[in-house]
Amino acid sequence: MYSFTTKVRVRYNETDRMGYLHHGVYPAYFEIGRTEMLRSLGMSYREMEDDGIVLPVSNLNIQYISPAYYDDVLIINTIIKQKPTVRLVFEYEVTNDSGKLVCQGETTLVFVNAITRKPTRAPQSFMERMEQYFKN
């Protein structure tokens, strides 16, 4: 298991007329969570793309627990529980700065060759860095 925490401040344009952070913004926040998690492992998602591998999302699930508001600082905890294969599953817990749970989510991503657009194996360097977190 590997987990990593990032903070995001809710922007004005991300709110809606209900006064809430719009529910459709969370997928972008999850994307920030996993980008920063990869960076914490010494990996850059941008470089992975430049090396010819893209990671489209194949599944997304969100449970909205309590609303977030303009200017809130949200804490995004991103977790990998299962050793990655051709698929990579991230879980997310978003809390506000009072510690209240805002939402929980999960995304499944697939390693894809940027040219052929076919599923491919995870880069060797990625698997090596992951290895230590999934020893028995």
Residues lying near its own copies in the complex (CB under 8 A) are found at 11-13, 15-20, 22-25, 27-28, 31-32, 35, 44-46, 49, 54, 56-64, 67, 69-71, 114
- State in angstroms the smallest separation of the CB of 26 from its own copies: 8
- State in angstroms the smallest separation of the CB of 132 from its own copies: 25
Given the complex with its own copies, which of 40 and 134 has the nearer CB atom?
40
What would the two tokens of residue 51 be? 């090396």
Sign of CA dihedral 121, 124, 129, 133: positive
Given the complex with its own copies, which of 47 and 131 has the nearer CB atom?
47
Given the complex with its own copies, which of 1 and 100 has the nearer CB atom?
100
Q: CA nearest 60: which of 28, 101, 83, 97?
A: 28
- State in angstroms the smallest separation of the CB of 7 from its own copies: 12
| Cα dihedral: 41, 45, 48, 54 (round 10) | 130
Q: CA nearest 76: which of 63, 91, 60?
A: 91
